Structure 1
Amino acid sequence: MNTSYAAMASWSVPQDAESYPLSESQLQFYRDNGYLVLRGLIDAPTLAHCKERFIDICSGRVDPGMITVMKEFSLKDSGKTGEELIYKIQDVLYDPVLYSYSSHPRLVSAVASLLGDNLTAMNSMLINKPPHTACHPPHQDQYYLPIRPSDKILGSWTAIDRVDRENGCLYLVPRSHRAGELYEHGYPPNAKGSTNLLFHGIHRDVAPLHSRLYLTMEPGDTVLFHSLLVHGSEPNVSQR
């Protein structure tokens, strides 16, 4: 993936916009490439409230309720606590504060442009990735979801803090959704003793290094991607 192509893959969102319906050029880019990066889609106050809520849940100051709190497997004997130990929290839709992300008017408006107005949110999570967290192998979201059609399902992913290759950013394979195929998934090699015990990856080599687009994102930047798009994440090799 060359730099000029990557530069075409994002749009800046006006911060005074109450909604954000997508343009025809954005819709066509998504159809062609399987993803869309919207810079600054989610406002800073929403991100701050979500981050504070996450820290409160990790520290035990707030009852997680129906949220599942998942620890980083490789750090279980490290003595770390709170947000330094938690890999992610699952089913954040059930939390009244974190639901402000899924129901954010600009996000809902953008998603509705791609899927239609009759929407439901599912498989929601806030991912933390403490230092030394492993990679998430190449996979497709459709593998985890027992519903169809694939063209009516997408993932949204928003950065709360800056993410880059050092601290474990997302990568994706542009246009990989166009094969229309759900690949066979399984446990990656050498998964024992890492977060990868929780994840399945694609058995075939459908994400060679030269095909990956790494998404460096600032707080509020959001990527929307097709449920068949091949994507994964880097390990966190930083201290962030």
Structure 2
Amino acid sequence: MSNTQLSTNQIAAYNKDGYIVIKGFCSRPEAEKLYQTALQDDAMKKNALDLNDQTGKKTKLSLWFTPGDNVFGYLTRSEKMVTSVASLLDSTAPVCHFHSKLMQKEPKVGGAWEWHQDYGYWYKNQFMFPDQLISVMIALTPANRANGGLQVIKGSHKLGRVNHGFSGEQVGADMVMVENALKTMELVYCELEPGDALIFHSNLLHRSEANLSDHPRWSIISCYSSQSNLAYSENSTSWKTPVKIVPDNAILEWETSDAAAVDFLVKENDPALKETGWENKVKTV
């Protein structure tokens, strides 16, 4: 079994706070290999999506569904990732990979992500059970207040799903509820070093500010679901396919294939970015 199994205290902290930070989850050599591959991979560049925040600043992401036989797929499918996720999802069903995304916040120009819950997006995919959805962020560069690192509202996953509307090209949470949550719960800046992991619940309220620093802020976020969690409006198939686990050493030691072989998201096909009508009734600013 993986030597990175979560402790009883870590599982309890996740259930109480909606997130945990694991320092050194990936080694520095692993984080460096992931970062250098991200910088050099033509498929990641070609399939990067621009999403404008409220001010018009762009944040870039490349999103794919089925994890391949490349270094990103090996991370997603690694025993330490899947074992950790399995201990936190509210299900004994096999762990499936919904999607992963390479987040790219360039110096000075990288846009903000507005307050939101991931389930605010994934509700439109008609996933049934938010407690069976989870995200794992791996920092590839330092993430801090200066370069737009992630902020979370501690314990906000217990609010349930908050209404979401459009905020620029993003989906943002109802700011009335966000402001009330900030009066009630603690705002936490999750500052990470390369290789650190932030694991968080699909209903945790989180945001990040624009990167106005001289340094990039890159990360990979892998999102998982239990096979028992049905998605009635999702055309991809990885969300219902159990992950084919690989040993942790695959990240550094196994041969890799071209990332171009994976199934990237096309912006126009994302149900979360399509209007349903009720978004216009939600205050997001």
TM-score by length of 1: 0.75
Structure 1 position 140 matched with structure 2 position 117:
yes
Aligned length: 200
Alignment gaps of 5+ in structure 2: 216-285
Instruction: Spell out, residue by residue over 1:88-131, the C-alpha distance to the aligned partner (whole angstroms, 9 max, x if none).
Output: 21117346221122122222221111124610111210111012
Q: Secondary structure at the match of 2:207?
A: strand
Contact 2:2-2:83 at 8 Å conserved across structures: no
Distance 2:3 2:159 in 1: 32
Contact 1:42 1:107 in 2 (8 A): no
CA RMSD of aligned residues (A): 2.5
2: CA distance, partners of 1:108 / 1:147:
20
> Which one has the bigger strand percentage?
2
Report the secondary structure of 1:128's partner residue. Answer: strand
Percent of aligned pairs with the same amino acid: 26
Select 1:129's aligned residue among 96, 102, 105. Answer: 105
Distance in 2 separating the partners of 1:90 and 1:177: 24
In 1, are the aligned partners of 2:86 and 2:95 still within 8 Å (CA)?
yes
Cα distance, 1:86 vs structure 2 = 7.8
1:87 to 2:60 alignment: yes
Do the aligned residues in 2 keep the contact of 1:150 with 1:228 (CA within 8 Å)? yes
Q: 1:69 to 1:112 in 2, by over 3 A?
A: same
Structure 2 counterpart of 1:217: 192
For 1:9-66, what per-residue CA distance to the aligned partner results, in whole angstroms no more than 9, with x for missing partners? xxxxxxxx94322121111111111111111101223222221221122xx3xx459x
Residue segments in structure 1 that go unaligned for 5+ positions in a row: 1-16, 75-84, 192-196
User: In 2, are the aligned partners of 1:87 and 1:129 still within 8 Å (CA)?
Assistant: yes
Q: Distance in 2 between matches of 1:150 and 1:40?
A: 27
If asked which structure has higher relative contact order (CA below 8 Å, sep 6+), I would say: 2
Q: How far is 1:205 from its partner?
A: 3.1
Match of 1:68 among 47, 54, 68: 47
What does residue 204 of structure 1 align with? 175
Equivalent residue letter for 2:154: P
Secondary structure at the counterpart of residue 25 of structure 2: coil
TM-score (norm 2): 0.64
SS state at 2:11 partner: helix
1:40 aligns with 2:24: yes
Q: Over residues 108-161 of structure 1, what are the superposed CA-to-partner deviations in whole Å (9 max), with x where a residue is unaligned?
A: 221111124610111210111012222100101112223121111111111111
